[in-house]
Amino acid sequence: MPDLSHGTDADVAAVNSLRSAVMRLGRRLKHQRVDESLSPTEMSVLGTLARCGSATPGELARKEHVQPPSMTRIVALLEAKGLVRLEPHPDDRRQKVVSQTEQATTMLEESRRKRNAWLASLAEGLDDEEWAKLREAAPVLEKLAHLQ
């Protein structure tokens, strides 16, 4: 495992370039939304529910790295928009469980299709060698995205 905190100039430059490119691409992807009325945080919460399944507001707050009162407000906004539902917790009546609705599932699928189409159109500008490198890098970037 490389120690990139004290790496060579080339390592430092590569990390800097990777950070910059990932951030720019992420910002551009965020603008490819189906529902402009949702904030990036609201979209992130819906994505977490889609990936991880139903959760309490406290669990969502931890996964999204926000304070519980903030998550309570976000969940209330999503519920008012018909994108999540609150149900009693099966073991603790003091808590609620947040689940996404069919409307949220449909919206997320449309959003993924739009973002995938946008990204595919960008990738058409790559040559075969660049596309092959990007395909090989995708699992590594996925791993980075989930490391703590």
CATH architecture of 32-146: Orthogonal Bundle (1.10)
What is the pTM for the complete model shown?
0.75
Residue indicated by tokens 């928009």? 81
Each residue of 24-69: pLDDT tens digit? 998 888 888 777 788 889 999 999 999 999 999 999 999 999 999 9
Quick one: which of 114, 36, 49, 109 has its CA closest to 79?
Answer: 49
pLDDT at position 129 is 96
For residue 88, the number of C-alpha atoms closer than 13 Å in the C-beta half-sphere is: 5
pLDDT > 70: what percent of the chain? Answer: 95
Surface-to-core class of residue 59, CB atoms within 10 Å of its CB (0-12 exposed, 13-18 middle, 19+ buried): middle
Dist CA 73 CA 14 (whole Å): 39
Domain boundaries, the chain: 1-31, 32-146
pLDDT per position as a tens digit, 87-111:
998 888 888 999 999 999 999 999 8
